[in-house]
Amino acid sequence: MTVPAAGDGREDLSVAGRSIPLSLYIHVPWCLRKCPYCDFGSRPRPAALPEWAYRDALLRDLARELADLATPRPLTSIFIGGGTPSLLSGETIDGLLRGIRALADLAPDIEITLEANPGSADAARFAAYRAAGVNRLSIGVQTLAAEHLARLGRIHDPGQARAAVAAARAAGFANLNLDLMYGLPRQTAADMAADIEGAIALEPEHISYYQLTIEPDTPFGRARPPLPDEDLVADAHEAAVARLAAAGFAHYETSAFARPGRRCRHNLNYWAFGDYIGIGAGAHGKLTFAAPDRVARRIKREGPEAYLAARGHGGFASSEERLAEDDLALEFMLNALRLAEGFPVGLFEARTGLPIDRLLSRLEAAERRGLLILNDGWIRPSDLGRRFLDDLLGLFVR
């Protein structure tokens, strides 16, 4: 096998003559109630939510991160996640985005996403977010069946989910993502199909479709609920992919489906191994510097109290790690092979500083097993490789 020569690139993954894109992730560590399957860095909202203090800490954190950049780069996307960012007032989000604009250059077509839960938002709040500059909402619907919402510990009902979508449209949002989960406790194939139909009927521009995973340090991990048969889940997922394709949604990443022109640019930057600053309690970031040890991962202080306490001295980071070359290659492949179209050879070399030849034996093994296709300067997973992604990714683990 001959590794394909670098091609010209396609769409968002073009690399010729461009610096590594830079995104910003902002973590909001509070929620109304912790769900039994969630292992994200979040905790129930305190009686008095310290919105202004937290906004101030976020902006100080960002200022320090930007000072570490050798060459300023514009932010191509901002993602406000959590937790439940829609707990924050429109005034706080407006002040936060104004502060970010004062500190950093923003791309003219920047994508600014805010995660919202149906049980913690209303039309007025959505309108305030839109006025502040948020141009994409990601609504945590999870399922449109009341009994499954209850089993997941969600605080909203199907009517509130549909009302949240209507409120977002009324507020002027033309770019909506719906988060949907499948493989839920006691969920049948018919239930999963009904959720897909219900989500399509809400006419979003994007759907994130995730299988429920049981994490060990969660209530579900300690007392595992009855889950549907794995073969049933796999068949239902295959049917969902086909139905979404028929409805005009392209399956461009393992768990992501988008209408034309509505792929999530922020997440694409993760999967294409771009750079991102992470601010907020427990946030992760990844930045590329000059060789050697060119890629650094930084993690911020986990609890909101510790994070807020760092405002006085600016020590927001709890750890930093420089990735060794083998880890760098592995992390690139773990991300980029999630993309249906794969990646151009030049992207691997540009983002890691390594020659693609160092992966030659593993690429050959994947190709022999029919998991990978290499041609026209691109490396992409085959249909079989997408179906058995864990097997494909396992070939690149040391």
- In 3D space, the residue among 264, 248, 57, 284 whose CA is nearest the CA of residue 179 turns out to be 264
The whole-model pTM stands at 0.93
- pLDDT of res. 40: 83
The answer to whether the CB of 129 falls within 8 A of the CB of 28 is no
Residue 34 in any domain: the answer is yes
Judge if 343 and 200 occupy the same domain: no
- For residues 237 and 384, membership in a common domain is answered with no
Residue 25 lies in a domain: yes
Task: Answer yes or no: do 386 and 262 share one domain.
Answer: no
The residue ranges of the chain whose pLDDT is under 50 are 1, 4-17
Residue 328 inside a domain? The answer is: no
The answer on 180 and 36 residing in a single domain is yes
**According to the model, what pLDDT value does residue 293 have?**
63
If we measure between CA atoms, which residue out of 41, 124, 22, 33 comes closest to residue 304?
41
Among candidate residues 270, 291, 307, the one where a domain is terminated: 270
Residue indicated by tokens 């500083």: 353
Residue 12's pLDDT is what? 43
CA distances from 74 to 71, 204, 357 (A): 10, 28, 32
Range of the domain at 344: 339-398
Q: How far apart are CA 189 and CA 330, in angstroms?
A: 35
pLDDT of 16: 36
Q: Which residues contact 17 (CB under 8 A, 6 or more apart)?
A: none
Task: Show the tokens assigned to 78.
Answer: 């901002």
Given 270, 291, 323, which residue is the final one in a domain?
Answer: 270
Counted domains in the chain? 2
Residue 343 lies in a domain: yes
Q: What is the pLDDT of residue 10?
A: 38
Residue 371 within a domain: yes
Strands 372-375 vs 176-182: parallel, antiparallel or unpaired: unpaired
**CATH number for position 99:** 3.20.20.70
Nearest to 318 by CA among 350, 282, 294, 345: 282
User: 270, 299, 324 — which closes off a domain?
Assistant: 270
Other Cβ atoms closer than 10 A to 22: 23
